[in-house]
Amino acid sequence: MNLLLVEDETRVADFIRRGLKAEGWVVSVATDGETALAMAAAETFDVILLDIMLPGMSGQTVCRRLRMKKDLTPVLMLTALGDVEDRVAGLRMGADDYLVKPFDFDELLARIDALVRRAAGFQDRETEPHLLSSGSLSFDTRSLEVRCAGQLIDLTPKERDILKLFLSNPGKIFSRERILNSVWNLNEDPQTNVVDVYIGRLRRKLGPGGEPIETVRGAGYRYRTRGEP
Ligand code: CA
């Protein structure tokens, strides 16, 4: 498996690279955002490990540019301790998860593993029904293909997770906290509108197929099944 590590502090980069190499990862290192973007454009990586504090272009900008270029490689952001705003900004830029420095190496491995498994499309969950659908919308949880009226729709991993939550529980109301917990693994309320931003994006991408994502005032969101008022 190929991993791109974007970290300007040589000692930290060396530590992570050596540890991951020992776990069988092929690790490429970029020390600034421009180089990282060039490397990501030239090669396919399974995961990108992205430090936020970089000289010049920040990690958040790197992530946003990747997503703008439709690069959906899972991104794990590395943030300084306690920077809740940084973390939330990173998630809003399309990062899939974050890890606070200093971190435990086992924790890093576990997070990378989770991202890879999720990106692989829950392939080990054979018992789960793999085709979710409602109206003109269908979601194959193995191939991760989302189609609306037969048309393929490009979703980021987080957008897919939200859609999966809705389609697996049609009619059920999900609070923002519940969505944050289920999709971002956040147990605290970061006091942001990150969920609303993602729901808005999801609706736009799905077009008319996204209309059933309903805002329930004061409660959250739910996916209305066809025929329901
Ligand atoms: Ca740094």
C-alpha of residue 102 to centroid of ligand 1, in Å: 12
Helix or strand run (H / E) with residue 137: strand 137-140
C-alpha of residue 202 to centroid of ligand 1, in Å: 32
What are the helix (H) ranges across the chain? 10-22, 33-42, 59-68, 84-92, 105-119, 157-168, 176-184, 194-206
C-alpha of residue 108 to centroid of ligand 1, in Å: 16
Could you list the pLDDT tens digit for every one of the 229 residues in the chain? Answer: 899 999 999 999 999 999 998 888 899 999 999 999 999 998 889 999 999 999 999 999 999 999 999 888 999 999 875 666 766 777 777 888 888 888 888 889 989 988 988 887 644 444 456 788 888 888 988 788 999 888 899 998 889 999 999 988 888 889 888 888 888 877 666 677 889 999 999 999 998 877 789 999 988 999 987 654 4
Asked whether 163 and 135 are in contact (CB, 8 A), the reply is no
C-alpha of residue 95 to centroid of ligand 1, in Å: 17
For 78, the 3-state DSSP assignment is strand
C-alpha of residue 9 to centroid of ligand 1, in Å: 6
C-alpha of residue 11 to centroid of ligand 1, in Å: 10
C-alpha of residue 80 to centroid of ligand 1, in Å: 9
Tokens of 3: 């991993």
C-alpha of residue 48 to centroid of ligand 1, in Å: 15
In single-letter form, the type of residue at position 7 comes to E
C-alpha of residue 52 to centroid of ligand 1, in Å: 6
C-alpha of residue 7 to centroid of ligand 1, in Å: 5
Asked whether 59 and 33 are in contact (CB, 8 A), the reply is yes
